Amino acid sequence: AQKVTQAQTEISVVEKEDVTLDCVYETRDTTYYLFWYKQPPSGELVFLIRRNSFDEQNEISGRYSWNFQKSTSSFNFTITASQVVDSAVYFCALLNAGGTSYGKLTFGQGTILTVHP
């Protein structure tokens, strides 16, 4: 069975601080995908990134960066120079690529990020 753990329930920072959201996953599959979603106060789920298990290259997109380490089963998300608009709930999720997974995502519990002005 697969599992995703986001150990930080809530994080509070002041604008312009850097913040890292942790994600640790468990899976027996060798081929899988990891995701981050953002849920702003309006409630919709916004896709941020997808990573497959064979690509450990870190990725940067503007102020967002992701660090994927298979050795520690972690897929951490860093926001540099945080802004108030980054305030949201962030979810890490796992998808096994096997034929019987049918695209079912396993979500972590979510991390509530609050960025204060």
Q: Which of 41, 43, 62, 117 binds other proteins (CB under 8 A)?
A: 43
**Total interface residues for other proteins by CB under 8 A:** 24
**Strand-pair partners of 59:** 66
For strands 10-14 and 111-116, give the pairing.
Answer: parallel
**Strand-pair partners of 68:** 75
Q: Which of residues 69-108 bind other proteins (CB under 8 A)?
A: 91, 95, 97, 99, 102-105, 107-108
Closer to other proteins at the Cβ: 52 or 72?
Answer: 52
What does the alpha-carbon distance between residue 58 and residue 96 come to, in Å, rounded to a whole number?
20
27 to each of 2, 84, 113, how far by Cα in Å? 5, 34, 26
Binding site for other proteins (CB under 8 A): 4, 6, 9, 31, 33, 35, 43-45, 47, 50, 52, 91, 95, 97, 99, 102-105, 107-110
